[in-house]
Amino acid sequence: MDANAKKTALRMVPYGLFILTGKTSDGRVAAATVNWVTQASFEPPLVVVGVKADSSAHGIIKDARAFALNVLGKGQQSVAFTFFKPTSVEGDTMSGERFRAGATGAPILESTPAFVECRLVDTIEKGDHSIFVGQVVEAGVAREPVGRPDDATLWLRELGEKTFYGG
């Protein structure tokens, strides 16, 4: 296999940006920027997220058996960069971003336009990232998109001309 061809072909997959969050029953909190996300079923509504196997979010979400995907909106580049770094919780803020507890306990960020919350229903651990399969159990829209919903989302390409996560 030609490594450059693999990289180019895989980088042709377009991605949005999301803050993946979770909280265990003993109070450990995860928040990490992710882009490897797809829906995977309508009924039941399933989503798939690729999560770095050696990240703290990975262990926390496995323990919590639940997660939220907070959808970043256009212009929220700074929030994406914030959650590339380790998270610190102070009261009702995480790394300076206000949040509330969702139905699953996962933090819901107040600045993001929409979220889904999921029960973790399956996990495939075969690589440097694991595949988390979530069944959507709650959802909210704080700011209704004008026009197409996918146009309102912050896209990976908007983090910088040379920024990729994939390939």
Q: Give residues in contact with a copy of itself (CB under 8 A).
A: 1-2, 4-6, 8-16, 36-48, 50, 71, 113-116, 121-122, 124, 126-131, 133, 136-141, 144-145, 148-153, 155-157, 161, 166-167
Residue from 96, 100, 93 nearest 82 by CA? 96
Tokens coding 72: 């970043």
Query: For the purposes of burial, counting CB atoms within 10 Å of the CB of 142, is it exposed (0-12), middle (13-18) or buried (19 or more)?
Result: middle
Question: Tokens 């197409």 label which residue?
Answer: 148
For residue 150, what is the DSSP state?
G
Taking the complex as a whole, the smallest distance from the CB of residue 18 to a copy of itself amounts, in Å, to 8
In the complex with a copy of itself, the residue whose CB is nearer, 7 or 98, is 7
Taking the complex as a whole, the smallest distance from the CB of residue 24 to a copy of itself amounts, in Å, to 23
Taking the complex as a whole, the smallest distance from the CB of residue 36 to a copy of itself amounts, in Å, to 5
